[in-house]
Amino acid sequence: MTSNMVDKTVDELKDLKISEVALQKPCADSKPSNKSKGGKFVLKCPKGMRDYTPDQMAVRELVFDKIKKCFKKHGAVQIDTPVMELKEILTGKYGEDSKLIYELEDQGGEILALRYDLTVPFARYVAMKKIKNIKRYQIARVYRRDNPAMTKGRYREFYQCDIDFAGEYERMLTDTECVKLVCDILQELDMNNFTVKVNHRKILDGIFEHCGVPEDNFRPICSAVDKLDKESWEDVKKEMVETKGLDPAVADKIGVLVQKKGQFDLIEELEKSDLGENKSAAAGLSDMRLLLEYCELFGCLDKVSFDLSLARGLDYYTGTIYEAVLAPDAKGENVGSVAGGGRYDELVGMFAPKGRSIPCVGVSIGIERLFTIMEKKLQECRTSSIQVLVASGQKGLLKERMKLLNMLWDNDINAEMLYKANPKLLTQFQHAETERIPLVAIIGESELQEGKVKLRDTATKEEKLVDRASFVEEARSLLLNCGS
């Protein structure tokens, strides 16, 4: 093979590699294509993203409403932030996960990226607005260049539901309220078989220091420990030793500790051990004891486990950390984490003038995994919000149906009619049954002459003739009786 042929082959392989690497900026000569081998355009959603049907949206709206109800019950106010942030706002905040940030091309002189979560944009918001204290919630889409597993609720575009407390408060009060919120939300969604794991970054740092981990290796080792919920200790130890360069004897010492879990009993055990003499660990254990005491007062201690394997890989956590996991389903499959969060006292200071620090703590609900579960549970979830269908069984009554429809709308009752001049009455009844519309208001020639309207209960098929002047109030009363 000649040198020219070798160069040509190398160039072809480079072009092939570029076209195969997802999310890389395409070069001028090798642009990714959405065309199939036959040259036809492939109509699909981007990888890790999806459309939502009316049935799925009905479930999502139901879940969002329940979560918002819990957030508001705890006094949170709602904010929103842009879906894009300046790239430098996001980079360097997520540890090893920073590689999952969606970076965008130069947009008119600004280097931007899609938000990875809602926490860092919130910290930027607090710093920029010079806020001293706020209890806020936010429900919005975030983006991660992850390897999707859509059947398990892991996407590249997905919603997060966050609540965060920013400001100076008594120790462990807001941390405990985050745990209580997670319990409230999961119970509101009728998911009662769960555990909220709690731990403390100071305890983990104390463990690493006590076992002999170099300080500059704390975060990488913490990231390895965070994988214990998915991998065996042997695999995690292998990563620590072979990838992170940790001494095997040091890794073994860590392994003895990070596989422990309990509640007050574990705190007492650790306080009496050599680890209790470590300043960082002692401070974390003191916080953890207070957290468990407050959880007991809030009536959620039975759902809480002090678990030393919980590490939360993100770099910005500084204190308490927590994660909610559901018990395996009927098939024995693990759903994984459905909520997670922690304390991040230094993040706002990274953006604020002169490093002005605002302590923060918060939790994020893993809403997509909850949707996946809820969609299976709520197969019969009603997609329509319509309460009354206006119908007629005779021809030439389109305008009369429109008059009744407008009366209902003017009185804040959700109503509709079929958009045909003369639909068959049976077709209208079938539409009400299919869409589970609880009430049908029927107008005919005899009703017009008598000044009446017939109201029909879709479920029981019982009918009631009422005065036209009072039919709106009669409809409202019947709707209350049928729970709509």
Q: Which two tokens stand for residue 253?
A: 């010492």
- Mark 385-397 as b/e (b = at least 16 C-beta within 10 Å): ebbbbbbbbeeeb
**Residue for token pair 């932030």:** 81
**Contact present, 287 and 202 (Cβ < 8 Å):** yes
**From first to last of its 484 residues, what are the pLDDT tens digits of the chain?**
444 444 444 444 444 443 333 334 444 444 566 665 666 778 999 998 989 888 888 888 989 999 999 999 999 999 999 999 999 999 878 776 788 899 988 778 889 999 999 999 999 999 999 999 999 999 999 999 888 777 666 789 999 999 999 999 999 999 999 999 999 999 999 988 999 999 999 999 999 999 999 888 888 888 888 888 888 899 989 999 998 888 999 999 999 999 999 999 999 999 999 999 999 999 999 999 999 999 999 999 999 999 999 988 777 899 999 999 998 766 666 777 899 999 999 999 999 887 688 999 999 998 888 888 887 776 655 677 899 999 998 999 999 999 999 999 999 999 999 999 999 999 999 999 988 899 999 999 999 999 999 999 999 999 999 999 999 999 999 998 876 6
Dihedral angle over CA of 176, 178, 182, 184, nearest 10: 70
**Contact present, 113 and 101 (Cβ < 8 Å):** yes
For the chain, give the secondary structure using H, E and C: CCHHHHHHHHHHHHHHHHHHCCCCCCECCECCCCECCCCCECCCCCCCCCCCCHHHHHHHHHHHHHHHHHHHHCCCEECCCCCEEEHHHHCCCCHHHHHHCCECCCECCECEEECCCCHHHHHHHHHHHCCCCEEEEEEEEEECCCCCEHHHCECCEEEEEEEEEECCCCCCHHHHHHHHHHHHHHHHCCCCCEEEEEEEHHHHHHHHHHHCCCHHHHHHHHHHHHHHHCCCHHHHHHHHHHHCCCCHHHHHHHHHHHCCEECHHHHHHHHHCHHHHCHHHHHHHHHHHHHHHHHHHCCCHHHEEEECCCCCCCCCCCCEEEEEEECCCCCCCCCCEEEEEEECCCCHHHCCHHHCCCCEEEEEECHHHHHHHHHHHCCCCCCCCCCEEEEECCCCCHHHHHHHHHHHHHCCCCEECCCCCCCCHHHHHHHHHHCCCCEEEEECHHHHHHCEEEEEECCCCCEEEEEHHHHHHHHHHHHHHCCC
Q: How many whole angstroms separate alpha carbon 406 and alpha carbon 415?
A: 9
Q: How many whole angstroms separate alpha carbon 471 and alpha carbon 437?
A: 17
- Residue 3: how many other CB atoms lie within 10 Å: 7
Q: How many whole angstroms separate alpha carbon 117 and alpha carbon 227?
A: 20
Q: Where are the domains of the chain?
A: 1-43, 54-377, 388-482
Q: Cα dist. 191→19, 113, 121, 306, 327 in Å?
A: 44, 35, 30, 21, 10
- Given this model, what pLDDT does residue 368 score? 84
- Given this model, what pLDDT does residue 262 score? 96
Q: How many whole angstroms separate alpha carbon 474 and alpha carbon 371?
A: 37
**Contact present, 140 and 185 (Cβ < 8 Å):** no
Class of domain 54-377 (CATH, top level)? alpha beta
- Given this model, what pLDDT does residue 3 score? 45
Q: Which two tokens stand for residue 259?
A: 């596989």
Q: How many whole angstroms separate alpha carbon 162 and alpha carbon 179?
A: 13
- Given this model, what pLDDT does residue 21 score? 38
Write down the pTM of the prediction: 0.77
Bridge partners, residue 304, by sequence: 196
- Given this model, what pLDDT does residue 303 score? 97
Q: Cα dist. 408→279, 359, 439, 451 in Å?
A: 68, 50, 12, 16
- Given this model, what pLDDT does residue 6 score? 41
- Given this model, what pLDDT does residue 294 score? 98
Class of domain 388-482 (CATH, top level)? alpha beta
